[in-house]
Amino acid sequence: MHISAYYPTDMVNGPGIRCTLFVSGCVHHCKGCYNARTWRADHGVVFTEAHLQQVIDDLNAVAPPRSGLSLSGGDPLLPANCEAVAELIRQVRKQCPGKSIWCWTGYELETLTQPQQTIVDEIDVLIDGRFEQALCDPNLPWRGSRNQRIIPRTALGRREIAAELLAEDVSV
């Protein structure tokens, strides 16, 4: 798997202060995509053990404390990315207790293959669906168009969504 960017502290992609990893590769090619340079699966650099360790270390750092990991792209659920993303999630679950994992994908929950579903079963929140320019709304939290859904997968995910939306006084 290649990655296009990594932000060790990020306050845009999900609630709280987070680590955000932008993986490379996306086949959806949505019109108006905010990150078209990440469509190529070989964009950026290879995701190595050192990157994985950096993510673990950053998630466990105390200054500033991170709420969790956000996986964006590109598409973390691109079939070619699934194995590496699943391993990353396994390691975060093992080594970073209490941290949430949010994942953005252009696929829809109901259409996922088994490897994609396996990943989604291990995360706290999924934001799914292609970006649709006709449904674009810049005021939406954490997503670009109204067809995209914020789907909690765990109690922690539900709590994070609720806390943030109450604080922001906006609705899903």
Q: For binding to ligand SF4 (CB under 6 A), which residues are involved?
A: 26, 28-30, 33, 35, 38, 73-75, 106, 130-131
Nearer to ligand SF4 by C-beta: 36 or 172? 36
Residue written as token pair 């340079």: 37
Question: Which residues are within 8 A (CB) of 76 and not within 5 positions of it... i.e. 6 or more apart?
Answer: 23, 85, 103, 104, 105, 119
- Least distance in angstroms from the C-beta of 78 to ligand SF4: 9
CB of 55 to ligand SF4, least distance (A): 20
Residue nearest to ligand SF4 (CB): 106
Closest CB to ligand SF4 among 33 and 80?
33
DSSP structure string for 120-143 = HTT-SEEEES---GGGB-TTSTT-
Q: Which is nearer to ligand SF4, 44 or 74 (CB)?
A: 74
Q: How many CB atoms lie within 10 A of CB 57?
A: 13
